[in-house]
Structure 1
């Protein structure tokens, strides 16, 4: 029963993310960006935290659910605008995941537990919130670091890496250091950590 509910929620999140107008070319097929991201998040969780509970599994998949709905361009430029946008996105992702869970026979307490993970409440003290953060950082390093680094100078990239590193747990650090990154990216990681 529980596995069925969880599967229903993950399928519903995927259906929402299939509507993303932003597409990525995967082997000649244009696929919704947030659908790909959700599956990358799940793959990372399954690889490094294979015994994760269902609330964390849902939170990981819903990390960017319907992200395109709130455009960055609708917020002021600069750090404060960016942080407000990110916070508002987190609230939206959490509420949407909660609604989907309630539709799939989870109770309010279970749905709120997942929403709290997505909002990353009690980061560093709540293991599930911390794992979600670690997964997001690892997915960035594995899939989005290289295109990000191409667009920015080394100073900015190193700064982002240092901020990312501070958010991660010791286990997240260990996993990150084991990743096989291209040589120029590995060099930037070394500079960021020195």
Structure 2
């Protein structure tokens, strides 16, 4: 059995995400949406937790692998439908990633750990699951929050911010307060924390 290949695993995850038909324009350049998200996850993880394990680095990169394959509107547009959709996505992301990890020589044990992280098991109890959740929240706040906030009422945004904040560790919260956000966003965060 050859040595597991981290670089190959990342390349395969990126190749899968490069198939995303949804395009996001960032700094004047077009990117497949989930490929851009995956790179932001890695960048944020390595800045927030520079000593992240290989398992955590792969889980962060594959967090949304092929997310477009299960669309939100294939589930009822209510809270229950939303949660069921999220659960299906997590399972699909974990399975797709496990297949890639086997192809590049990782053990079942390693692959199971990555799946555990992608499924966000033992949040608040498992340090790496918590780090991954912090990074998800930081990426959302830094890159997606402002567009999202424009489409919803301040009341709804404050509720979402309070839920997001509740999922984060103290380190994650401190990092969030240092993000380069617009005044309006910072003001909504302050209202949510008041």
**Category of TM-score, reference length = shorter chain:** over 0.9
- Matched with 1:21 is 21
Q: Secondary structure at the match of 1:120?
A: coil
Q: Deviations over 1:11-65 (max 9, x none)?
A: 1000000000000123443210000000000000011101100000000000000
Residues 77-123 of structure 1: CA distance to partner in whole angstroms, max 9, x if unpaired?
Answer: 11000000001100100111111001000011110110000000011
Give secondary structure in 2 for the equivalent of 1:95. helix
Listed one character per residue, the Cα deviations across residues 137-190 of structure 1 (whole Å, up to 9, x for unaligned) are 000000000000000010000000000001101110111112121001000000
Structure 1 gap segments, 5+ residues each: none
3-state secondary structure, aligned to 2:5? helix
Give me the whole-angstrom Cα distance separating, in 1, the residues matched to 2:18 and 2:61. Answer: 13
Unaligned runs of 5+ in 2: none
**Residue 98 of structure 1 aligns to a residue in which SS?**
helix
Rounded to whole Å, the distance in 2 between the matches of 1:146 and 1:105 is 40
Distance between the aligned counterparts of 1:133 and 1:179, measured in 2? 16
Q: Count how many residue pairs are aligned between Structure 1 and Structure 2.
A: 193
Higher relative contact order (CA 8 A, sep 6+): 2
Give the corresponding residue for 2:138: 138
What is the correspondence of 1:1-194 to structure 2 with a 5 Å cutoff? 5-194=5-194
Per the normalisation by structure 2, the TM-score is: 0.97
- Cα distance in 2, alignment partners of residues 6 and 142 from structure 1: 27
Structure 1 length normalisation: TM-score? 0.97
